[in-house]
Amino acid sequence: MTAGTVAPYQPDQQTGRDGFAPLLRAEWTKFRTVRGWVIGTVVAVLVMFGLGLFAAGASSSSCQSTSGGPVRTGQGCVTIPPVGPGGEAVSDSFYFVRQPLAGNGSITVRITSLTGLLPPANGNVPGGPNAPIDTRPGLVPWAKAGVIIKDGTAPGSAYAAMMVTSAHGVRMQDDYTGDTAGQPGAVSPASPRWLRLTRSGDTITGYDSADGTHWTLVGAVHLAGLPSTVQAGLFAASPAYQAITEGFGGGENGLVGPSQDTAVFDHLGRSGSWPAGAWTGEYAGAADGSGIGGYHQASGRFTVTGSGDIAPVVPGQAGDAGTTVTQHLIGTFAGLIVVIVVATMFITAEYRRGLIRVTLAASPRRGRMLAAKAIVIGAVSFVAGLAAAAAAVIFGAQLAHARGSYVYPVPWPTELRMVVGTAALIAVAAVLAVALGTMLRRSAAAVSLVIVAIVLPYILGAASILPVGAADWLLRITPAAAFAIQQATPQYSQLTAIYSPNSGYFPLAPWAGFAVLCGYAALALGLAVVLLRRRDA
Amino acid sequence: MEATIEVNGLRKRFGSALALDGMSFTVHPGQVTGFVGPNGAGKSTTMRVILGLDSADAGTALIGGRPYPSLRHPLSHVGSLLDAGALQPSRSARNHLLWLAHSQGLTARRVDEVIAQAGLGSVIRRKAGGYSLGMRQRLGIAAALLGDPPVLMLDEPFNGLDPEGIVWARGFLRSLAAQGRAVLVSSHLMSELQDTAEHLVVVGRGRVIADTSVADLITTASSGRVTVRTTARPQAMEVLAHAGAVTAATGRDTLIISGLAAEKIVALLGESGVLFSEVSAHRASLEEAYMELTRDAVEFRAAVAVPADTEEPAR
């Protein structure tokens, strides 16, 4: 038989579908048929979930939490903060001089003075809540006083307020987290401030003025579901004094003690339906009446003294016995290590055995093959991460509640972002691992590099090992920046607190941090495709 | 698509070593083509270039007239077995075939068909890591058949097969070629290709030394030589050498004579009274023909086994 006489071979089977789907299916088949990789993924979920539960259970407290407001539950126990309209933990204690306002209306006032008292500089904070404070004159930066319109007196209820502050000028604040700057500068008899709040339906508008004639709009806020009759009037509040010093791994509260402020109001003007009777003065937000405050009214002049704060409460501060959802996700780094190993092996095992040649002979378009691999390992890791994160958050909270410890509430969109973002972090890290595995072709080198790039900076930054400055930089420029996706509470500019990586605050915004990781992964994947195409298999 | 492999002027250098030096040949359908040469002659490199795995510095390699990387579902065009050990050890053999099938849009039904063809039935669900080399070769052949391709290219498929396996593989490859497929089988041992290949591409030092049918090769290697069987070997050698023949002793009582026709030899030995039991035209073995061809091209002589009964020139 010679070549010329042979009938060409006619295959009797149909050629399969062309396109990307078969590649995805092939890579998925590859993944699911290696038992070690499937077990590894399950282990990653269990480790992540287990460590989360451990963190949630470890911070147990003997205090019984009661709902419905701040309750001081005894020595060593936390005050359970109320929950604001946005779902976050808030502080809602201040001195309130109020009257009911029915329907629409407005309140205008002039403030001529804001003074206050601080705890002694030597750190001798008096013991009992009602003990007289051995004090020195002074104000904390966010000492505040002004006019407020509030849903009611229930802790955590909605409000909007115009205020003067000691160091941040005139502000309009609403619902604990909203904060808009008005006129800058401190208030004094020579430089008084006029403030006005106007209610129209659900909208409250704030104005300020230096002379009571020329008014400037500061802001308008919408308080959904505001009742027709609200509580309105004057207030004064002064957050606790904190001497924050820089320590290794984060700030330290060297001294924490109560402070108070006193504001002098006059030229009170009102429009709308106000009662003719007297004002009610009370310390709002402390069930046992422990707050400092009082008021004095004489010849159109109100002198109001208060303490406490109307602001968010953030975790990670001195004496904080609660946990956050972030801590329930503490196992992420451990699960991530396992996922990184599996994802790296997904490609390097092929190099080790020469299987890559079979793969590339079956899929000569190499970029598509790698894309399919990345999508499969990314999807598997995402599902695993989602399961682990959701379970850790749900059961972590249940365990913490069951053991009587406090979990800071977070708004549901934040919680969703943390859970889905954690899954996405793990997925993108897996893609990065596949890309580096393709570039290096060696399991040990690729695994080490990815762990050094993601897990190590996170541990160094979040575990008080490095000074804050270095930790901040690590968590900005390394792929570990993506852990910002797990930040439970934003950094509030209107709240003096320790915002450091080891107390759960990251230098970048959640999605910005995640974008850093995505950038690294995209870069690595691009390089991997170039190398894969260029190199002999 | 025409079932051919066309290799034209391939050159490739690995560092200072020239792996391919103008490799050119064509594999035609309907026959098994042996791809033979000593280790390091460039066989595997050529195959990797054909599959688009390695890029050549110069030259082209086409499957049915098209470069491999342009093929959609390439396993339906070429089935290949480069390295039987290219397996994930912890994956079962069947799942190895399954992902390959999925990558070509094929189903598990096709996997079961090639498992039966390759005779892998009972052990197919075991982990591939536990397979003997012979079993891996069968698995690799099954993988090459997945796409039912018109072209097959197998690198050293007989390695590790037991004698029964070698017989099976020879018959199987011949039957695949008889279906009209082009089958290229490489080997560094010519004897493995005996009774299998009809055509040979002999390579050495990265280039083709001979591109010939097996029949022509053996005729050339045998031409004009005569085997003489005699108990009086020294006398016979003396007589024939005196008449101008080149004589070579290949055994205690056998000689191979070139340069004299058989009738002349019979006459000379008769005249001189040298007794002989046989004078016949010599038929060279494939091995002999190959050794003759590659004598100059062998780079790693030690790697090529030299059979003890190979003729040694003597005068």
**Minimal Cα–Cα distance from A39 to chain B, Å?**
13
- List the structure tokens of A480: 């570990």
Nearest to A362 among B75, B180, B182 (CB): B75
- The answer as to whether A74 is a domain residue is no
- Final residue before a domain boundary, out of A282, A312, A342: A312
Q: What pLDDT is stored for residue A529 in this prediction?
A: 97
Q: Is the pLDDT of residue B302 over 50?
A: no
Looking at the fold, whether A348 and A468 belong to one and the same domain comes out as: yes
A453 and A343 assigned to the same domain: yes
What are the pLDDT digits (tens) for A201-213? 999 999 999 999 9
**Which chain A residue has its CA at the smallest distance from B90's CA?**
A34
* A417 lies in the same domain as A326: yes
Specify whether B50 is located in the same domain as B90: yes
Angle, CA of A88, A91 and A94, to the nearest 5°:
150
Q: Cα–Cα distance between B169 and B252 in angstroms, integer? A: 36
B104, A361 in Cβ contact below 8 A?
Answer: no
Chain A: give the shortest CA distance to residue B238, in Å.
45
Nearest CA to CA, how far is A49 from chain B (Å)? Answer: 28
Domain count, chain B: 2
The alpha-carbon gap from A17 to the nearest alpha carbon of chain B, in Å, equals 5
Q: Are residues B176 and B250 in the same domain?
A: no
Question: Do B245 and B103 fall into the same domain?
Answer: no
Calculate what percentage of chain B has a pLDDT beyond 70: 93
Reported as a single tens digit per residue, the pLDDT across A151-193 is: 988 899 999 999 999 999 999 999 999 999 999 999 999 999 9
**Alpha carbon distance A83, A155 (integer Å):** 8
CATH number at residue B253: 3.30.70
Per-residue H/E/C for A30-67: HHHCCHHHHHHHHHHHHHHHHHHHHHHHHCCCCCCCCC
Q: Are residues A303 and A331 in the same domain?
A: no
Q: Which chain B residue's Cα is nearest to A346? A: B88
Give the residue numbers spanning the domain of A445: 21-56+322-487+498-534
Highest mean pLDDT among A286-300, A337-351, B158-172, B185-199: A337-351
Q: Do A308 and A185 share a domain, yes or no?
A: yes
Which DSSP symbol is given to A276? S
Taking residues B68-76, what's their average pLDDT? Answer: 92
Distance from the Cα of A437 to chain B's closest Cα (Å) equals 16
Q: Are residues B91 and B188 in the same domain?
A: yes
Question: Rounded to an integer, what distance in angstroms lies between the CA atom of residue B31 and that of residue B181?
Answer: 7
pLDDT at A490: 87
Q: Which are the contacts of A471, defined by CB distance < 8 A and separation ≥ 6?
A: A249, A460, A461, A462, A465, A500, A501, A502
**DSSP code per residue over A507-518:** SS-HHHHHHHHH
- At A262-308, the pLDDT tens digits run 999 999 999 999 998 889 998 887 655 567 788 999 888 999 999 98
Domain annotation covers residue B270: yes
Domain CATH for B108: 3.40.50.300
Do A181 and A35 belong to one domain? no
Domain boundary among B179, B197, B219: B219
Angle made by CA atoms A364, A367, A368, in degrees to the nearest 5: 75
> Is residue A195 assigned to a domain?
yes
Q: Are residues A460 and A421 in the same domain?
A: yes
Across the interface, whether the CB atoms of B180 and A5 are under 8 A apart is answered: no
- Residue in chain A nearest B177 by alpha carbon: A9
CB nearest A362 (choices: B48, B74, B91):
B74
Q: Which of A396, A268, A409 is nearest to A332 (CA)?
A: A396
My answer on whether B9 and B153 are in the same domain is yes
Comparing alpha-carbon positions, the chain B residue that sits nearest to A345 is B88
Token digits of residue B196: 């299998």
A201 in the same domain as A294:
yes
Domain membership flag for residue B213: yes
Contact B99 A33 (CB under 8 A): yes
* Least confident stretch, A268-272, B72-76, B282-286: B282-286
What is the domain-level CATH number for residue A227? 2.60.120
* DSSP structural state of residue A307: -
Give yes or no: residues B129 and B257 share one domain. no
Taking the C-alpha atoms of residue A170 and residue A153, their distance in angstroms, rounded to an integer, is 24
Reported as a single tens digit per residue, the pLDDT across A40-89 is 999 999 999 999 998 887 755 545 444 433 443 433 455 678 889 988 88
| Strands of B207-213's sheet in order across | B78-81, B151-155, B182-187, B32-36, B199-204, B207-213
Q: Are residues B136 and B252 in the same domain?
A: no
Structural contact between residues A432 and A348, judged by C-beta atoms closer than 8 angstroms: no
Residue B191 lies in a domain: yes
Q: Give pLDDT, residue A75.
A: 37
Interface with A, mutate which of B102, B106, B112, B184 (most A CBs under 10 A): B102
Residue B247 has pLDDT above 50, yes or no: yes
CB B193 within 8 A of CB B289: no
Please check whether residues A151 and A235 belong to one and the same domain. Answer: yes
Contact B88 A353 (CB under 8 A): yes
Q: Is residue B230 located within the same domain as residue B195?
A: no
Q: Work out how many domains chain A is built from and give that number.
A: 2
Set of chain B residues whose Cβ sits within 8 Å of the Cβ of A27? 99
Mutate to test the interface with B, among A5, A15, A359 (most CBs of B within 10 A): A15
Strand partners, A237: A144
Q: Are residues B171 and B234 in the same domain?
A: no
| CB within 8 Å: A354 and B85 | yes
Residue of B nearest to A373 (CA): B103
pLDDT at A12: 57
Return the residue in A5, A6, A533 with the most chain B beta carbons within 10 A, the one to mutate for interface testing: A6
Nearest to B153 by CA among B100, B79, B206, B70: B79
Q: Which residues of B touch A537 (CB under 8 A)?
A: 48, 53-54
- Residue B62: CA count within 13 A, CB half-sphere: 14
Phi, psi of A154 (to 5 degrees): -65, 135
DSSP A419-482: HHHHHHHHHHHHHHHHHHHHHH--HHHHHHHHHHHHHHHHHHHHTT-SBHHHHHHHHHHSGGGG
Chain B partners within 8 Å of A358 (Cβ): 82, 86, 100, 143
Contacts of A140 (CB under 8 A, 6+ apart): A116, A118, A166, A238, A239, A240, A241, A242, A259, A261, A496
A–B interface: beta-carbon pairs under 8 A:
136
Residues A428 and A448 in one domain: yes
CB contact under 8 A, B80 and A23: no
Q: CB B181 to CB A25 under 8 A?
A: no
Looking at residues A119-136, what average pLDDT do you find? 59
Q: Which residue has the higher pLDDT, A447 or B3?
A: A447
- Indicate whether B165 and B242 sit together in one domain: no
CA torsion through residues A280, A284, A289, A294, sign: negative
Nearest CB partner across the interface for B95, out of A27, A29, A360 = A29
Specify the pLDDT at position A491: 86
CA-to-CA distance for B233 and B131, rounded, in angstroms? 52
| Residue A79 included in any domain | no
Give B55-115 as a DSSP string. Answer: --SEEEEEETTEEGGG-SSGGGTEEEES-TT-S-TTSBHHHHHHHHHHHTT--HHHHHHHH
Contacts of B239 (CB under 8 A, 6+ apart): B268, B269, B272, B274
pLDDT tens digit string along A11-32?
655 555 568 999 999 999 999 9
Best mutation site among A1, A2, A9, A443 for testing chain B: the one with the most B CBs within 10 Å? A9
Domain span at residue B113 reads 5-219
The verdict on B186 and B242 lying in the same domain is no
Give the lowest-confidence range in A3-17, B240-254, B279-293: A3-17
In angstroms, rounded to a whole number, what is the distance separating the alpha carbons of residues A335 and A417?
19
